[in-house]
Structure 1
Amino acid sequence: MEDAGPALERAIAALLDVRAPGATICPSEAARAVDPEGWRALMPEARAAAGRLAAAGAVEVTQRGAVVDVATARGPVRVRRAGS
């Protein structure tokens, strides 16, 4: 997939739209929504898409419940709507 960034950002927003307030998603869920077969290759871009949405104030990226910078976080992260 050439530039999956916008599709991943839309997928993150759509997944959060159908979750309860305060609920989180894994970036892999967005990657799977965009490319069910090749989602693993999209993981770096899915994390980057979450980072862009966080920088815009739309979401928060968390690790063990604490807000983190996805660019420096190592290991699994979760994404939730900002202010949740």
Structure 2
Amino acid sequence: MVMLSEISKTILAEADKRGPDKSTCPSEISRMLFGDDWRKEMGKVREVAIGLHREGKVVITQKGVPIDVDHIKGPVRIKISQNENRSD
């Protein structure tokens, strides 16, 4: 069973690897962690990503623009926050 902390670590690692100019899709994270069951677990991945966004660790975007995570509609992307980028 994948713990929420593992989801968080994976989101941060992938977002950091891509840097602040590129993003990752929550489905990529879900596929990495859950294999064939990734669709069932997308809600968990999105919720963890929203929590990381609220903590200022990542930015959730749509069409490259940061969004209000209280009103998400449609697909989103996850980017590392400028403050969190550890690969500099």
Question: Which consecutive unaligned segments of at least 5 residues does structure 1 have?
Answer: none
Aligned to 2:21: 22
Displacement over 4 Å in runs of 4+: none
Two-structure CA RMSD over aligned residues (Å) = 1.8
Q: Give the TM-score taking structure 2 as reference length.
A: 0.82
Question: Structure 1's 44 and 9: CA in aligned 2 closer, same or farther, altered over 3 A?
Answer: same
Superposed, which structure 2 residues align to 1:63-78 within 5 Å?
A: 63-78=62-77
Q: Which structure has greater helix proportion?
A: 2
Q: How many matched pairs? A: 83
Identify which range, 56-65 or 67-76, moves more after superposition.
67-76
